[in-house]
Every structure is written in structure tokens, then in C-alpha cells.
Amino acid sequence: MLMKSENTTQAFPLAMAGIGEWVKIVGVTGGKNLLKRLIAMGMIEDTELQVLQRYQKNAGLVVACGETRLAFGAGMANKIMVVPIQENFNYDAS
């Protein structure tokens, strides 16, 4: 079950995000039970996350969502599709 979003062309699994990287959830490739679990945790489409900690390759990770810290196992992290957040700074050069 994939949530609809315009940015899914450059989406990748949360498990592939690097430490310190800011990402935004654009979809979930798991079934309805996974989707229900993520919604209960507040992990809905367009939620911004920062990867705080990674365990061994193909293992879990810890993310920050505001002041909340959440740990995801490898299976769940591979089903959460994200895109990197582009920082747009508009500095006035004058």
C-alpha cells in the first residue's frame, strides 16, 4: 500500500538514509497493518525525520521526529519510502 505523493520518483527506503540526513516520508510499501502502526506513531505522509543513529548495516535505526525519538527495525525502515529534504535558503545579496 503506497501513499500517493508527487515526489515518489526520487524516493528511497528510510533504511538507506545517512546519519544526520533530513528526510520526508512520501509513502509506505507495506501492508495495512504496517500503515496502521505508523499512523498510530504519527508517521504520516510529509512527516519530516532526521536520522540520529544507525546500527550495523541492514539493521535498525533511530530517528527524530520533532522532540520524539523512534527506533525502527530494518524490516520496517525498508518499507518507509522517503525523499531528502532540500534546504532552500534565500539570502538577499544586497
| CATH number where 6 lies | 2.30.30.90
Give a yes or no: residue 23 inside a domain: no
| Residue 24 is assigned to a structural domain of this protein | no
pLDDT for the residue 58: 73
Tell me, yes or no, whether 21 lies in a domain.
Answer: no
Q: What are phi and psi of 76, to 5 degrees?
A: -70, -40
Q: Which residue range(s) make up the domain with 75?
A: 1-10+30-85
Q: How does DSSP assign 17-36, residue by residue? A: PPTT-EEEEEEE-S-HHHHH
Q: Per the domain annotation, does 62 fall within a domain?
A: yes
CB of 85 within 8 A of CB of 23? Answer: yes
Is 15 within a domain?
A: no
Domain count, the chain: 1
- Which pLDDT value is given to residue 7? 52
Q: What is the mean pLDDT of each successive set of 10 residues along the chain, which is 94 residues long?
A: 57 93 94 92 92 84 93 93 76 51
